[in-house]
């Protein structure tokens, strides 16, 4: 089917234009395939392989650069129709067409949660295949550590189920390997009993930034699985103590606004993806202050020793191969209005990230680890992984996709190089 790529046409196919979080990612594919079953995904990949067509895969649409999840003048596969959710005892089967709100909503009646995204509109597949920062990482590890099995269509169109025992090499490689191995058509996610959570959202003025960052550092250093997590100014812990007891350091900083709540993991409105409008970050941005619609944010994501320990001790591991030591991932996310500022803003972001990294290097504080889900398109997230893991990833790719369908024909997203 050849389509005119009007907004209406895309919407009819379940691929609404606003399903791309980054407006720059709205490209113009020539053909769009929206399969309704895993078998149809398999057929699509076979045809694509035969025709040697270039293609891209779209789900939650949150990856943040043009070409990561879309393609001009070639084939786009949208998985929005693979949206089944089946709650089981201790796990949930989830189709890739779901976002985390769908999954948390399905689990809520059972008093269960799974390890997914903090924001509700993020797609299940991208986040689960890349890592997965969630409020409960300290205790349960990352989303990728909690995938029990995957149904995946390989480059030759074969549909297989990957578990710890079946295709164990691929099972490991999918824990951080993103879209390098195939199209996942079902994730089985481990679930946990957490009927209620206690949340705190705090807004501080500029004078509190130093105290806030100092408390983020203390939170990262804690070697305790129970201060479950802090994401920027949003803290969530299991249970009903209000305000959440594990965030005492933060609640002691004088906030200009504090919202504490007892709720369930099914996210409330405050957990909507901010579309660059909720968080503010003030810093030396004078050089770009004239950019129309400038909206800079600075988020601190904490990696604690306990969150890494999960993969170290579960007998599977993951691609990150991080040591059990605290890290704080700095995430800069900047919005602006006009396409004419794209190049300037990309250059500014790159220079800022590289400049700050060089300062950290001089101070002996830098890590080369880059979280792929928030990586700029100019960065290489594989360069920060242990070399032996990257070598193994290549071997596994050669074994399961010898023709390079997910390398040569599908090049969007973060692809492992030669």
Ligand X SMILES: Cc1cc2nc3c(=O)[nH]c(=O)nc-3n(C[C@H](O)[C@H](O)[C@H](O)COP(=O)(O)OP(=O)(O)OC[C@H]3O[C@@H](n4cnc5c(N)ncnc54)[C@H](O)[C@@H]3O)c2cc1C
Number of neighbours of residue 124 by Cβ within 10 angstroms: 30
Among 29, 35, 66, 131, binds ligand X (CB under 6 A): 131
Reference 244, options 307, 192, 196; nearest CA is 196
Least distance CB 100 / ligand X (angstroms)? 8
For the purposes of burial, counting CB atoms within 10 Å of the CB of 339, is it exposed (0-12), middle (13-18) or buried (19 or more)?
exposed
| CA separation, residue 209 to residues 6, 107, 348, 355, 360 (Å) | 45, 36, 23, 21, 19
Q: Bridge partners of 330?
A: 300
- Host H or E run for residue 312: helix 305-313
115/305 with CB nearer ligand X: 115
Question: Per CB under 6 A, does 267 bind ligand X?
Answer: no
Contact window for ligand X (CB under 6 A) among 55-63, 85-93, 102-110, 287-295: 55-63
Using CB under 6 A as the binding criterion, the count of chain residues that bind ligand X stands at 37
Among 10, 34, 54, 62, binds ligand X (CB under 6 A): 62
Question: Per CB under 6 A, does 311 bind ligand X?
Answer: no
59/215 with CB nearer ligand X: 59
30/362 with CB nearer ligand X: 30
Distance CA 127, CA 143 (A): 7
Among 29, 34, 69, 115, binds ligand X (CB under 6 A): 69
247/388 with CB nearer ligand X: 247
36/214 with CB nearer ligand X: 36
Which residues have CB under 8 Å from 195's CB, separation 6+? 111, 264
- Is 303 within 8 Å of 328 (Cβ atoms)? yes
- Is 251 within 8 Å of 199 (Cβ atoms)? no
Instruction: Report 19-38 residues binding ligand X (CB under 6 A).
Output: 21
Question: Per CB under 6 A, does 119 bind ligand X?
Answer: yes
- Residues 269-308 vs ligand X: string with x where CB under 6 A? ----xx----------------------------------
Distance CA 191, CA 242 (A): 24
Which residues have CB under 8 Å from 18's CB, separation 6+? none
Among 34, 106, 118, 319, binds ligand X (CB under 6 A): 118
Per DSSP, the three-state class of 394 is: helix
The number of CA neighbours under 13 Å toward the Cβ of 314 is 22
Least distance CB 43 / ligand X (angstroms)? 16
Question: Per CB under 6 A, does 48 bind ligand X?
Answer: no
93/211 with CB nearer ligand X: 93
Question: Per CB under 6 A, does 126 bind ligand X?
Answer: yes
Cis before 96 (ω within 30)? no
Contact window for ligand X (CB under 6 A) among 130-138, 214-222, 283-291, 335-343: 130-138
- Residues 174-193 vs ligand X: string with x where CB under 6 A? ----xx---xx---------
Residue 113's region, left for phi above 0, alpha for psi from -120 to 50, else beta, is: beta
Among 27, 75, 127, 305, binds ligand X (CB under 6 A): 127
For the purposes of burial, counting CB atoms within 10 Å of the CB of 71, is it exposed (0-12), middle (13-18) or buried (19 or more)?
buried
- Residues 79-98 vs ligand X: string with x where CB under 6 A? x----------------x--
- Residues 98-117 vs ligand X: string with x where CB under 6 A? -------------------x
- Is 406 within 8 Å of 175 (Cβ atoms)? no
Instruction: Report 373-392 residues binding ligand X (CB under 6 A).
Output: 373-374
Backbone angles phi and psi of 260, in degrees to 5:
-105, 150
Question: Per CB under 6 A, does 130 bind ligand X?
Answer: yes
Reference 170, options 156, 186, 142, 149; nearest CA is 149
Interface residue list for ligand X (CB under 6 A): 21, 56-64, 68-69, 79, 96, 117-119, 122-123, 125-127, 129-133, 178-179, 183-184, 273-274, 373-374, 412-413
């Amino acid at each position: 089917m050849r389509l005119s790529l009007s907004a209406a046409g895309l919407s009819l196919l379940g691929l609404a234009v606003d399903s791309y979080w980054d407006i720059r990612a709205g490209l113009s594919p020539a053909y769009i395939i929206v399969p309704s079953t895993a078998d149809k995904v398999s057929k699509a990949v076979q045809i694509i392989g035969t025709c040697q067509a270039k293609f891209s895969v779209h789900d939650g649409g949150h990856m943040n650069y043009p070409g990561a999840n879309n393609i001009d003048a070639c084939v786009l596969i949208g998985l929005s129709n693979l949206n089944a959710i089946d709650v089981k005892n201790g796990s949930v089967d989830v189709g890739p067409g779901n976002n985390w709100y769908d999954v948390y909503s399905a689990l809520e009646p059972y008093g269960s949660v799974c390890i997914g995204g903090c924001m509700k509109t993020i797609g299940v597949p991208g986040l689960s295949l890349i890592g997965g920062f969630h409020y409960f990482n300290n205790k349960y590890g990352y989303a990728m550590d909690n995938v029990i099995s995957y149904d995946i269509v390989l480059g030759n169109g074969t549909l297989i189920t990957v578990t710890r025992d079946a295709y164990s090499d691929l099972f490991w490689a999918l824990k951080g390997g993103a879209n390098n191995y195939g199209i996942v058509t079902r994730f089985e996610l481990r679930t946990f009993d957490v009927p209620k959570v206690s949340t705190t959202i705090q807004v501080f003025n500029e004078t509190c930034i130093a105290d806030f960052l100092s408390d983020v550092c203390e939170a990262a250093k804690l070697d305790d699985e129970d201060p479950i997590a802090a994401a920027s100014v949003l803290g969530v812990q299991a249970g009903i103590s209000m305000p959440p007891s594990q965030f005492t350091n933060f609640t002691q900083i004088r906030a200009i606004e504090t919202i504490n709540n007892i709720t369930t993991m099914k996210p409330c409105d405050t957990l909507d993806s901010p579309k660059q409008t909720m968080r503010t970050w003030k810093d030396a941005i004078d050089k770009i202050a004239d950019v129309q619609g400038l909206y800079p944010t600075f988020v601190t994501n904490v990696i604690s020793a306990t969150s890494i320990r999960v993969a170290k001790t579960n007998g599977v591991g993951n691609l990150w191969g991080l040591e059990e030591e605290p890290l704080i991932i700095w995430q800069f996310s900047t919005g602006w209005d006009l396409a004419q500022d794209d190049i300037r803003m990309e250059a500014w972001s790159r220079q800022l990230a590289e400049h700050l990294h060089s300062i950290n290097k001089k101070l002996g504080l830098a890590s080369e680890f880059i979280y792929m889900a928030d990586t700029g398109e100019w960065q290489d997230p594989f360069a920060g992984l242990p070399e032996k893991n990257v070598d193994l990833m290549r071997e596994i790719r050669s074994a399961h996709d010898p023709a390079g369908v997910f390398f040569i024909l599908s090049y969007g997203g973060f692809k492992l190089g030669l």
